[in-house]
A and B are shown apart, each in its own frame.
Chain A
């Protein structure tokens, strides 16, 4: 259990986190979702005792991250945002080094990393700097897990990794969760949010919402439609002109639109678009996902 109470952190003139409080349950995958500069990394560095908070208190499994930082460091596995292993050492040397730093051996906790390590084992004599992105990430994860941490903190582990490796990575996280590890993961990819047990949406150092992905989607307040037309640029432009539209943004291959009032007539919208000269118009009711929710929450925040 990780409890965060009234945490604030400021870098010179920039407020990175403003008075946030929440808790993370044992044995869950907790996602921090937000754009770059939202404060995700700052939070992770506070949790891993790398930074001191200006205000407030974080307790990781009962240990204060400021006064008991040594104990916290023993129970936490941390994988920083960029590849932070020794590029001039081989895969095996890196693993052995981190194992001995944590007073353990590869063999001792092999069952924990076996799944991941098996995939990079064929390259164990290659220097880490010459591995591919996905391989580096697996090695970094192995190194972070080598001491069987109770809490695993991953800062944007999937940034810059291909889609297949990303999927594999999330499957690994699911397996690690089964072994009883609490996982805190940050990502700028909204589609990964639905893979977490709970997510916190962060923006400008503040938490907009914390809930399960399902609940966040369920609580989406608006009526959402997906529109398609031949000329998408013109379509977005025209939709924004429409008197009743509230938000218009490109989403995948179509355009997602919300309205100022929820009983908007779709036919009326279609006629409006035809009159503006759009062709091949296709309008469907869309299921909102995390990204829609995030956009809406950000918008609400801005309007306040």
Chain B
């Protein structure tokens, strides 16, 4: 045990003495989360909208005024028929179309409720999401004001329709996505590089000749990265929660447990890569091209998996981050419990066991 501890101590010394490693481990995750975070939170001003007012009464006029005076929207044009909606979106002239139903004020008066439809160009999902939020908010505030004055409560139902990207797949994706990428980067890339570094410098030779058990060598190399990755998970979640106000609706412990599982998976991948590569460069190339790129492109982080061509869609099944992102999204945003994500969790556990078994098979106790 003492052997093992001094091995881990040595490993931490390596990490803290190398500025570049430190930057990769702590700088990149924070930078990445901040960049993605702020890119998504950019305020939108003067977004062009069109209004299809089938009612043309005082209430719809009031709502329209509220919207336009908010500073977020600029009226491009009034539409006359619903046929024009598709057309104006195609032309790219507006980001949002607001449709008031017929007899809006009358219904509101008689039944206490009326419908507004918000149609958004979701080919830019982030913008669409933010605009929808603004619009709903303004309508909600308006309804609240009215309710304070009126004896009986009224309701305005706004139905949202996302044009072109109905699932709004990349909304709030950045946290689960970056988390997956960062964990792969640190756990898989860094461990595979640090193990191959020993091979390249010839120190592996000395370690192998020592009575140190090969399992200890590997565990000793991996443990510090487990700790560091875990610190990163906590800081990413912290940033997401406190800086960007991303909700964590589900159980925090379940979320952290799933993150740990994914760290284990990445570490075992890193070990596997290190057992098949002889030099640091080779390990880096395999991790970068064979792991990072597909993880980013095929996991649903950047492109929604549902929109992929069939072949890529099936390939994405083999991408660990794909399942991880799904789990994190479900827990954080939908508040799901384990009963909702057990399938994905089982897939990740299976993958981890597979990679560990492969690494044990491939690890050489000799040169």
Contacts and interface: CB of A to CB of B under 8 A. Distances in A.
A73 B365 CA distance: 12
A48 B209 contact: yes
B6 A101 contact: yes
B211 interface: yes
A87 B207 contact: no
A87 to B, nearest CB: 7
Q: How large is the interface on A (under 10, 10 to 19, 20 to 34, 35 or more residues)?
A: 20 to 34
A189 interface: no
A81 B227 CA distance: 35
Interface stretch (A90-98, A106-114, A242-250): A90-98
Nearest to B366: A50
B361 interface: no
Contacts of B17: 88-89, 127
B210 A101 contact: yes
B367 A51 contact: yes
B203 A85 contact: yes
A125 to B, nearest CB: 13
A80 B206 contact: yes
B68 to A, nearest CB: 63
A182 interface: no
B74 interface: no
Report whether over half of chain B's contact residues are helix, strand or loop; otherwise say mixed: helix
A89 B211 contact: no
A89 B202 contact: no
B3 interface: yes
A127 B14 CA distance: 12
A89 B210 CA distance: 19
Interface in B1-48: 2-3, 6-7, 10, 13-14, 17-18
Interface string A52-75: 100000000000000001100110
A83 B206 CA distance: 10
A52 B367 CA distance: 9
Given A51-B367, A96-B6, A87 B209 contact: no
A70 B6 CA distance: 20
A13 interface: no
Given A50-B209, A84-B205, A101 B14 contact: no
Interface in B171-214: 201-203, 205-212
Given A70-B211, A97-B10, A101-B210, 11 more contacts: A50-B208, A73-B211, A78-B205, A84-B203, A87-B201, A89-B17, A97-B6, A98-B210, A101-B3, A101-B207, A103-B3
Interface of A: 45, 48-52, 69-70, 73-74, 76, 78, 80, 82-89, 93, 96-98, 100-103, 127, 143
9 closest Cβ pairs, A-B complex? A84-B202, A100-B6, A50-B367, A78-B209, A88-B17, A101-B210, A97-B10, A84-B206, A80-B205
